[in-house]
Amino acid sequence: MERICGWIVRLKVVGRVAITEVATDLYSKPVVVAVKSNRDPELFSKVKDLPIGTAVCINGEVSPEQRSKRGVEYLARDIRIYSKPNESMPVDLVGKVPALLDTRVKYRYLLIRNPVERSIIKVRALVLKLAREFLENRGFIEVHTPKIVAAGAEGGATLFQVKYFESNAYLSQSPQLYKQMLMASFSKVYEITPYFRAEKFNTRRHLNESWGIDVEQGFIDSEEDVMKTLEELVAYIVNGVRERASEELELLGVEVKPLSTPFKRMDFREAVELLRNKGLEIPEGEDLSEAAERELGNIMAEKGCEAYFIKKFPWTAAGFYYMRDEEELTARKFDLDYRGLEVASGGQREHRYEKLVESLKLKGLNPSDFEYYLEAFKYGIPPHGGFGLGVERLLMSLLNLDNIRLATIFVRDRTRLTP
């Protein structure tokens, strides 16, 4: 005898049979319970008029005959009713009536009772589980860095300012600077962490609060060591989702192709040349736009390549903490694109104190604002590098989602501060 708890998402009475579908934590598909009045009139009477959204627990067992295509069939011995909704559902939990994006975002906490919406969130949880598996097996230690900080890693224009007692502080854009400081004591660290960025974008791929898998590793020879870790991590995640989430992928109607390493590498200049040959205008010294990324994804797809690195970015398009190749005026920075979307960026960091101070000045930043960070580089930090892999962006590409807001439950973007 098992106890299965969840919420009724569909109830249909056909003659003397009540067919109930219950969304549970155990499966992506609902539990299906058929109660016949001639076999159990008391249970039939208890179930037949329950409203959609009722919270119940079922005592029973999996039926030896699985005939339903809609979910796992159970033989119920009893159904205990815990809570009935006070109002009718504001959204269709079955999915017959399509909801606008705003409605889906507002009521996502309810819509994830629907098997398709539920599958997205279950795949998200699996992605994070797989990331931890991979990194822990490779000897990385999980750390947690401050989310209230004195200075940003990416620049003042995208910082959320908060009042911190008598001082001004900011929400963390990235654990970047703290990961580097930890290279003074650990050679392999990772953090699964939120990012807060005050970017005034409202595109299909931008959030103001998002999550990332951040990694830093020391004693490297070049950024290639970091790229190897990243490509093996992404391949582990993608192939793990294929193997462990087949039911969810089927519900979503998504085919995920296996990834093998190494991924293709191309210089930034090579990417620009490919795009210019297609007629796109790419400004000198700037990162690629969203449209350029998409077009590059199309070009690479034609070559049978879904995941690829772009490296050797112009120094002008890189953060101050990246190591410079001074002769080429490039940074040891790379992006990883997957299906035409940038999902990660990283590179080799500058570990030499004097060079870091010089880079800050070249970027128009005041070294005194970064004293706490710079001090760590006086005490023997080795050559190191790392990356940030965007959780929602990876899910968006992996599951072919139309909008990044569908890759999370509670959305924080330029117009949404609730629920």
List active site positions. Answer: 197, 199, 205-206, 342, 345, 393
Within 8 A by CB and 6+ apart from 42, the residues are: none
Q: Quick one: three-class SS letters along 159-187?
A: CCEEEECCEEEEECCCCHHHHHHHHHCCC
Query: Tokens 């989430």 sit at which residue?
Result: 245
What are all long-range contacts of 42-47, with beta carbons under 8 Å and residues at least 24 apart?
A: 43/76, 43/78, 43/79, 44/16, 44/18, 46/79, 46/81, 47/11, 47/18, 47/20, 47/79
CA angle 124/228/123 to nearest 5° reads 10
For residue 51, give both structure tokens.
Answer: 């409203």
Q: Would you say 240 and 126 are in contact if contact means Cβ atoms under 8 Å apart?
A: yes
Count how many residues are written for the chain. 419
Cis ω on the peptide bond leading into residue 419 (within 30° of 0)? Answer: yes
Q: Which of 318, 326, 325 is nearest to 287 (CA)?
A: 318
Q: How far apart are CA 251 and CA 249, in angstroms?
A: 5
Residues 124, 129, 135, 140, Cα dihedral to 10° = 110
Query: Tokens 């995640």 sit at which residue?
Result: 237
Q: Would you say 124 and 223 are in contact if contact means Cβ atoms under 8 Å apart?
A: no
Judging by beta carbons within 10 Å of its beta carbon (0-12, 13-18, 19+), is residue 377 exposed, middle or buried?
A: buried
* CA distances in angstroms from 43 to 1, 17, 34, 49, listed in the order given: 17, 11, 10, 11
Q: How far apart are CA 79 and CA 91, in angstroms?
A: 25
